[in-house]
Each structure stands twice: as structure tokens, then as C-alpha cells.
Chain A
Amino acid sequence: MKRRVLTEPKPVRVALILVSLAFLAVSLVLPLALVFVEAFSKGAAAYAAAIREPMALSALRLTLLTAAIAVPANLVFGLAASWAIAKFDFWGKNALITLIDLPFAVSPVISGMIFILLFGRLGTFGPFLQGHDIKIVFAIPGIVLATVFVTFPFVARELIPVMQASGSEEEEAARVLGASGWQLFWRVTLPNVKWGLLYGVILCNARAMGEFGAVSVVSGHIRGKTNTLPLHVEILYNEYQFQAAFAAASLLAFLALVTLLAKSFIEWQTGRRASAGSVENEA
């Protein structure tokens, strides 16, 4: 039970709530609504045409493909890294924690540049890649790599505190009872972190689909080949095809809404678990 400690006068409370609601309306809800209004400004038929257009479909496919590779990759990495960090002490642990945060710390444009410097024609591995006829930059592998890099921290960052909080006693108990490493992971560790994991995956997915900066640098903007949805929106906009641009943007906006819904569902679930946990503490 939370007791009310602050007792501001009612007008102050109402004013504060109104100010924040007005701000949210102007800066968040209005733009989002405008996306849909603009997208349908020439009618549903024009909207459908803009989305069914081959370049748009190809961008959508590439976006989904990128997310389909980046999210599982970071799911596995995030689980492994957070497990290692939360349950074991090893040399270089702090360095690993810092490195996980690196993609958050640098600008996405720089993240993209790193891959050009590494795999570009004049980059470190450029001659080798050209010699073996492997294309990374200005091709799909580059886009996937840049996306993986940028979305690297989401799962691990979500899981580390959850795993640290749950400690290792349950794992020890499972081992004494005869569970193998695999059984221990599936039956004890994973169920304890599943909501945190799902939360991290959803955020990771949202970012993977929406990433612009890093992908823009490595993509090369080849229409129908290396354009993701955010890049496609930019091209259409620069060509003054506003309605088509907003139609494509509405797909991303729709995705954002789904993400928010999933996120609040998970928060509601974990909230229920947390209140069960507080019963535990009182007992």
C-alpha cells in the first residue's frame, strides 16, 4: 500500500496534469495522428497503392528480414552476456558491461561509419573482401550488421538487473537436485527472467525496424535492394511524394503502437508479479 504523502492543493494538481497532457498532445499524439491523416489524405485507394508499390514492399521485406536476423542474434547474445555477468565473476567483467553500453553512447551515424571503415572499399578488410567478391557495405549484410550493432544493448541491459536480483540460490538448489545445465536453464533460469527478456526483445525489435542513422550510412540507398522502410520514407519525402511517404511512415507508426501495447501488457504482468513479491516480503 502506498500512502499519500504529498498533499498539494487541488488546483495545483489539476494544472500540472493539464500542462503535461497538453505537452503530450502537441508533441506526441498530434504528430502521430498527422501521420495517419496525411497517409489517407488522398483516400484509401491511394494509401493502398503507396503501400503495394514494389519499392515499398521491398523496403518492408528488407526491414522485416533485418529485424528477423538482428533480434534473435541479440537475444542469444543478451542472454549469454547477462548470464555471465550476473552469475559469475571473471576478469574483464566491468569492461564487458561498459562495452555493452557502447552502442548507446555513440551516435548511430558513427556506428554506420565504423562499418564503412572496416568493410568499405578503402577499409581495413576492403581488399580482402573485394578479392573474394564479398559485398558487405552497400548491401544487405552491412545493413544487418549495423542494425545488430545499434540494437546490441537492449536485451542484455534489460536482463542483467533481473538476473542479478534473482541471485544464484535457485540454480544451486536445482543443481543439488540433479538438474543438468540445460534443464537448469530451461526450467529455472529462463522462467525467472521471461518477462524481462520479452520486454528487451520488444524494445530491440522496435529499434531494429526503426533504425535510420547507422543503416542510412551503410545502405547506399539502392532502391528495391538496400532500402529499409525508414530510408524509403526519406526518399519519398525528398521527392515531394508526401502522401506516399506518410503511408509508408504509417506502417512504422503502427508498429510503434503495437510495441507500446505489448510493452504496457508486459509492465502490467510484471507489476502483478511484483505485488505478489511484496506479499512475499510481508509474510
Chain B
Amino acid sequence: MSIEARNVTKRFGSFVAVDDVSLVFPGGELTALLGPSGSGKTSLLRIIAGLERADAGQVLFEGEDATGRDVRQRGVGFVFQHYALFRHMTVFDNIAFGLRVRPRARRPGAPEIRAKVMDLLKLVQLDWLANRYPSELSGGQRQRVALARALAVEPKLLLLDEPFGSLDAKVRLELRRWLRRLHDEIKLTSVFVTHDQEEALEVSDRVVVMNKGHVEQVGSPQEVFDQPKTSFVMNFLGQVNAVKGGYVRPHEFELARSADAPEGSWAEVRHIHMAGAVVKLELVDEAKNVLLVEMSRDRADALAPRVGERLFAWPRRLRSFEAATV
């Protein structure tokens, strides 16, 4: 199901959380709403779900106006950052909840509910935990139960609010790859909110970068990373060096022992971080600006930089945003 937000605005007192945002989420895609906290991404997600009412603008589901539709009638699945599992119910009862509260005419019988819940538990690989309580599960398990619960009502749209936000780094990585595979399997239109650029770039088909209630850029992960349209996007997605004339990403710097480029500067090597596949260097140029430079291990071995040495640093690629508003 495709979703559209038209001129959506949301205020909390004098704070404008979402400022006249218009967006289209194509059917079947996994879209990331990426931005720092306070950028309006969660508010926008909650407005699409119907948990929050927009002060102005419309929300359209499949071209149909759903602005006034109650959250119960929208047919969305919602996964909360802190899982929001029902504490006093078992995993099984949590997942069955959405089916059991249906009006009698549309409510499946107990055997059907049972089959459906067990299928979902298999899908999230937790069928052996059906009779446990949420307090007995790990964070990653709880989030998968929350996902199964959201999918039980067969939503036409899946919304996830910082779904990996409260998990530790390793579980986070596993779970987001798992979510990507799951999405490829079920092809459900999905939108997830995150402040983690790596997560957005790795998991989604499309990234919507938000800042201060505005949309800064919409595009594929590669587009927003390689062709940022504003200095905000450039800064938010990955590390960046602000130099005279624009911005340079650390891996787009070239270092040499001779000044063989027109635009560049001499800089002194302060630190070399050798750990990992990528070597990271910190230099200070003549204007006392700190430059972050990344290069491959092979390149670093060939150059063999030393701390205290002066090297000539020049950008292979320089981006400028004259028209940028930030």
C-alpha cells in the first residue's frame, strides 16, 4: 500500500515538530526516516499511524484520504521503541491480542488463532518461547515478539519507531539484517524511524533525511550518501571535513609528500589509528584545522606516514552547497 503525506504540520506548543512536510512512500518499499532527535521523524510516523493528529495537512493511504480515520481503522502495524509488550500476558497472548479483540463477526476461531500465532512465532524464530512472559525474554527477543504481534493483524503498512534503539550493538546489527531479510520475504510497505545513519543506509530501500521538521533529501542510500543535496545531509551522513571552499569526506582526501595538486594544504600528522581495515589519520593544517583522513590498509602501508611528519593533503572531491540553507 502506498502512503502519502500532504503538507503535514504538527506543533507542540510553540515548537513546530513537523513543518509542512509532503512525502510519498511507494508500496512494498522499506523506507527509513532518518534524522537527529527533534527532527520530527517520530511525530511524522505517529501521524501516519493515527496515534497523533496533524494540525494541518492530509495523510493518504493508497490515494484515499485517511486523515480523519481512527487509529483502529487504519490497519497499520506499529512497533514501539521500548516494545510495549503487554506485561501480564504470555508471548502467545501478546501476539493473539489483535485477533482476539476483533468484533465477533471478524474474529477467527481459537484453533485458527493458534495456528496463526504459531506461524508468526516461527517466522520470528521464537516458537519455543510461546508460554514465556515478556520479562523473561532478552531485548532482541522482545522486539521480535513485538514485530510478530504487529504482523498478526495483517497490516497493510508496518511502522517501526526506532526499532533497534534500545538494543546493544551486536544484537542491533543481527536484528536489522534479519529485518531486511524479512522485508524481502513479505514485501510489506514499511517505514522505520532511526537516528543511526549506518542503520538507515544498510537496511532501507529509500532514505528520507529530516532536520528541524523539514525533509532535507529523499533518495536511495547511495544517492543520499554520495550526492548529498545540503550541507546538513553531508554532515549527518558520515564524517566530514569542512575546508576552504566546501566539504570533503575523510576517504576522499589524498595524502602525499609533495604538493602535486593545485588546491590543498600542508598538514602535520597528529594521530594514526591503525586498527581495522581502514586506517584513520588525524592531521592539523596550517590554519590549525583538524583534518580527518581515511585510507585503505594497502595505501597506508605504501605511504607509511609517521606521527609528526608534514604531508600534503588535497581533496579528490570537494562539495559545496552555496544554495544550502543550513
Q: Which residues of A contact B (CB under 8 A)?
A: 166, 169-170, 172-180, 183, 187-188, 191-192, 276-277, 279-280, 283
Contact = CB atoms under 8 A, between A and B. Distances in A.
B59 interface: no
B71 interface: yes
B153 A283 contact: no
Contact of B101 (A183, A191, A277): A183
Question: Which one of B49, B84, B133, B139 has the greatest number of beta carbons of chain A within 10 Å?
Answer: B84
Given A178-B101, A178-B153, A179-B101, A173 B137 contact: no
Interface in B129-154: 133-139, 149-150, 152-153
A187 B87 CA distance: 11
Nearest to B139: A283
Interface residue range, chain B: 20 to 34
A178 B80 contact: no
A172 B80 contact: yes
Interface string B74-91: 001110101011111000
B87 A178 contact: no
Interface majority SS (helix, strand, loop, mixed), chain A: helix
Interface in B59-75: 71-72
Given A172-B80, A187-B101, 18 more contacts: A169-B84, A170-B87, A172-B84, A173-B78, A173-B84, A173-B85, A175-B71, A176-B71, A176-B77, A176-B150, A177-B149, A177-B150, A178-B98, A178-B101, A180-B101, A187-B86, A192-B87, A283-B137
Contacts of B97: 174, 177, 179, 187
Contact of B135 (A174, A179, A277): A277
B140 to A, nearest CB: 10
A87 B139 CA distance: 26
B317 interface: no
Interface string B297-318: 0000000000000000000000
Contacts of A180: 72, 101
Contacts of A176: 49-51, 71-72, 76-78, 150
B80 A173 contact: yes
A180 B107 CA distance: 14
B122 interface: no
Nearest to A168: B84
B102 interface: yes
27 contacts: A170-B85, A170-B86, A172-B51, A172-B80, A173-B78, A173-B80, A173-B84, A175-B51, A176-B50, A176-B71, A176-B76, A176-B77, A176-B150, A177-B97, A178-B98, A178-B153, A187-B86, A188-B86, A191-B88, A192-B87, A192-B88, A276-B135, A279-B136, A280-B134, A283-B137, A283-B138, A283-B139
